[in-house]
Amino acid sequence: MSRPTTSVLFVCLGNICRSPLGEGIFVALAEERGLDGDFHVDSAGTAGYHSGEPPDSRSTAVAAANGVHLTGYARQVTPRDMERFDVIVAMDRSNQRSLQRLRQRYGRGRGGLADIVMMRDYDPDARDADVPDPYYGGHDGFERVYRILERSCRGLLDELAGPGRD
């Protein structure tokens, strides 16, 4: 008997740095544990600045250096995503507020809307609620964000799948 699929959407501002990294890391970790068929994973941005563009080359480089492959192209989160996904993971408080406003406008009188959670809620080393945006920085910022997302995605996967489930 197959287990139900859980759908997870990672969201940042432009969907070229943090959320594609979160998506790629989560998929890689699920594959490592033999759980890749248990999840449908995607990413989006609260703004459409980069719609249609691939992930930032610095995100792609730090992912590749860690054995993670990034796929997809930037897109803006839609009201339909509130129904399509079980969990929507915000990278920072600004993204969370935007998602909550979208959900409130779209969700009046409707059931089955996604849970909106913060990425760093699953980071055992979190000292701040936000995953910093590395866009205007250098390689070190992307490396730091990768480590934050790796820890956080492990925690999220444990939460969604259970720590010992393989």
Give the catalytic positions in this structure.
12, 18, 133
- Which whole-number Å values give the CA distances from 2 to 5, 53, 156, 157, in the listed order? 9, 35, 21, 18
Which 3 state secondary structure label does DSSP give 51? coil
151, 122, 146: which is closest to 62 by C-alpha? 146
Instruction: Supply the angle between the helices 57-65 and 18-32 in degrees, to the nearest 10.
Output: 20
CB neighbour list of residue 17: distance below 8 Å, 6 or more residues apart? 55, 56, 58, 59, 133, 134, 135, 142, 145
* Rg (the chain; Cα; Å): 15
Sheet holding 39-45, edge to edge: 39-45, 6-12, 87-90, 115-118
